[in-house]
Amino acid sequence: MAFRDYQDFLRALESAGELRRIAEPVSPYLEITEIADRVMKSGGPALLFEKPFATAPRLGTSNPRSAVMGEPSIHPAGTPARSTAINEVPVAINALGSRRRMSMALGCEDFEEHADRLRDLLKPEVPKGPMDALRQLPRLFREIKTVPPKTVSSGSCQEIVLQGDEVDLTKLPILTCWPEDGGPYITLPLVFTYDPSTGKRNVGMYRIQVYDRNTTGMHWQMHKTGMRHMEAAAEAGKRIEVAVVLGGDPAYTFSAIAPLPPGIDEMLFAGFLRRENARLVQCKTIDHRVPEDAEIVLEGWVDPTERRLEGPFGDHTGYYSLAADFPVFHVECMTMRRRPVYPATIVGVPPMEDGWMGKAVERIFLPLIQLTVPEIVDMNLPVEACFHNVAFVSIRKKYPGHAYKVMSAIWGLGGMAFTKMVFIFDEDTNVQDVGEVLFRLGANCDPARDTLLSRGPVDQLDHASLAEGFGGKIGFDCTHKWPGENGFVRDYPKLIRMSDDIRAHVDSIWARLGL
């Protein structure tokens, strides 16, 4: 199912017992994020801070469920229709911070359903005859017809339009997350850009430090598509128009972090996830189309020749990323709903909300990885290793050295190229079970023989790398060794297993044992 907007999603969370309202006035400066961090690490619910400011509560706000258009409101009673101050915009955080909430965000019981849908599209069964082919057409048509985004004439994201001197980002409850952050940061932005050469759209998620009422940083890292678009604009001697979207159907947020193949539009992928076309509206001051159901939209531009110190920032690595010069985003127009909710997240020492966002990426895009590397059975990118640092991979081993082939393939796969440590196991290893992974690693890997050292691109935020964006990688062959493989000449022992007939017999009498 597709959500009408972000607030529709929040209402669904609340109805499912997955959202907690916080009526206590709380400051966006460190307090909200400290509360959210504790809740995230304890596996707690999504949070809606109704009064994100550090002053006494207003009168007339005791009832948090006022009626708007016949539905429960996300806003406290008494909130003005035109939100212009920080204490009139609630903050939602940790909305995607569990498997259930991440699945709800993607409109399904469990997000692996989308992996099955992708697998069916990538490897459709060969029809057994003309009638079988005809029977398959309706399913394929249903999957495809909802994919392309469509443009609409108006949207709720433009109920309020502020331009020029009316733009003031400081009136939004933008969070300062950690004590040594360079300032307040927009942490859940969808950044829309177009390639000046091809006209292709990209939607990425890049942190945005707020400098003043209408100027921010734009953290386009060296490997990101936003940086490629800005470089193309620089070659043409032009500045690049940018739209920053907050909110909308959470499928848009997931699409912005999805490792899509080059040329696949994120809004097209969002339509696939939603099973309903993304509805886009023309921006007011720039030639961009953005989701009409967004909460807040910032319109502006970046001059490729301009840089400003950005950071430090408490990052997903669990460490502060250091301050450095990055492009500057100038906001000339801010549009919003009459009663917006400000979506936010916080990153830091895992586990955090982004852990479930990353786990959904891992599971949903496994079929795409298997399309290129079909011998892969399963993959686990541990949350504690920030996903891109470690990969546990099981394979169907077919020949000596097969593990090394898979290591090399992984280091050549888009975002998987940033993986620093790859552990390859036999197909009967449950790589989702870290205990079993450690058992197999210790039993089957000889560091002097079964490791492969390499170098290549790494995450620009990796502070331990040889250089910024470039560093070492290592692969571990944790499979059973074949005769003659990499100099192994001894017999390889068998894994201890009970015989199937005894296991079946014990299963049959287990209930009578009283255990």
* Span 277-305, pLDDT tens digits: 999 999 999 999 999 999 999 999 999 99
Comparing 127 with 211, the larger pLDDT belongs to 211
- Selecting among 315, 354, 450, 459, the annotated active-site residue is 315
Q: What pLDDT sits at residue 57?
A: 35
Q: What is the mean pLDDT of residues 359-384?
A: 93
Name residues whose C-beta falls within 8 Å of residue 253's C-beta, 6 or more positions apart in sequence.
96, 105, 188, 190, 205, 343, 357
What does pLDDT average to over the chain?
Answer: 88
Q: What pLDDT sits at residue 66?
A: 30
pLDDT in tens, 35-77: 999 999 999 999 999 999 744 333 333 333 233 333 456 665 5
User: pTM, whole model, 2 decimals?
Assistant: 0.86
Q: What is the mean pLDDT of residues 2-9?
A: 95
pLDDT band, very low/low/confident/very high, at 414 (cuts 50, 70, 90) = confident
Give the span between the Cα atoms of 431 and 379, in whole angstroms: 6
Domain with CATH 2.30.110.10 in the chain: 6-109+142-344
Active site residue 37: no
Q: What pLDDT sits at residue 42?
A: 94
> Is the pLDDT reported for residue 412 higher than 50?
yes
What percent of the chain clears pLDDT 70, i.e. is strictly above it?
89
> Is the pLDDT reported for residue 204 higher than 50?
yes
What percent of the chain clears pLDDT 90, i.e. is strictly above it?
74
pLDDT in tens, 335-358: 999 999 999 999 999 999 999 999
DSSP reduced 3-state for 241: strand
> Is the pLDDT reported for residue 86 higher than 80?
no
Give the span between the Cα atoms of 65 and 45, in whole angstroms: 19
The structure tokens 């090394």 sit at 404
Give the span between the Cα atoms of 242 and 218, in whole angstroms: 10
- What is the b/e burial string over 82-95, where b = at least 16 CB atoms within 10 angstroms of the residue's CB? ebeebbbbbbbbbb
Q: What pLDDT sits at residue 56?
A: 36
Q: What pLDDT sits at residue 233?
A: 92
Least confident of 172-181, 458-467, 505-514: 458-467
> Is the pLDDT reported for residue 84 higher than 50?
no
Q: What is the mean pLDDT of residues 359-373?
A: 92
**C-alpha atoms less than 13 angstroms from C-alpha of 54 in its C-beta half-sphere:** 6
Give the span between the Cα atoms of 428 and 499, in whole angstroms: 16
Name residues whose C-beta falls within 8 Å of residue 465's C-beta, 6 or more positions apart in sequence.
458, 459, 471, 472
> Is the pLDDT reported for residue 320 higher than 70?
yes
Domain with CATH 3.40.1670.10 in the chain: 373-500
> Is the pLDDT reported for residue 108 higher than 50?
yes
pLDDT band, very low/low/confident/very high, at 465 (cuts 50, 70, 90) = confident
Least confident of 35-49, 122-136, 350-364, 478-492: 122-136
Give the span between the Cα atoms of 321 and 314, in whole angstroms: 6
Helix axes 112-122, 130-145, angle to 10 degrees: 130
Q: What is the mean pLDDT of residues 173-194?
A: 96
* 178 CB neighbour count, 10 Å cutoff: 19
> Is the pLDDT reported for residue 87 higher than 60?
no
Give the span between the Cα atoms of 152 and 276, in whole angstroms: 14
CATH number of 373-500: 3.40.1670.10
The structure tokens 């079929």 sit at 367
Q: What pLDDT sits at residue 281?
A: 97
Q: What is the mean pLDDT of residues 173-184?
A: 95
DSSP reduced 3-state for 52: coil
> Is the pLDDT reported for residue 13 higher than 60?
yes
Q: What is the mean pLDDT of residues 430-457?
A: 94
Q: What pLDDT sits at residue 65?
A: 28
pLDDT band, very low/low/confident/very high, at 133 (cuts 50, 70, 90) = very low
* 290 CB neighbour count, 10 Å cutoff: 28
Q: What pLDDT sits at residue 270?
A: 94
Q: What is the mean pLDDT of residues 440-461?
A: 91
Least confident of 18-22, 210-214, 402-406, 468-472: 468-472
Q: What pLDDT sits at residue 79?
A: 47
- The domain defined by 6-109+142-344 carries CATH number 2.30.110.10: yes
The structure tokens 């193949």 sit at 261
Q: What pLDDT sits at residue 128?
A: 58
Considering 63-67, 218-222, 422-426, the range whose residues carry the highest mean pLDDT is 422-426
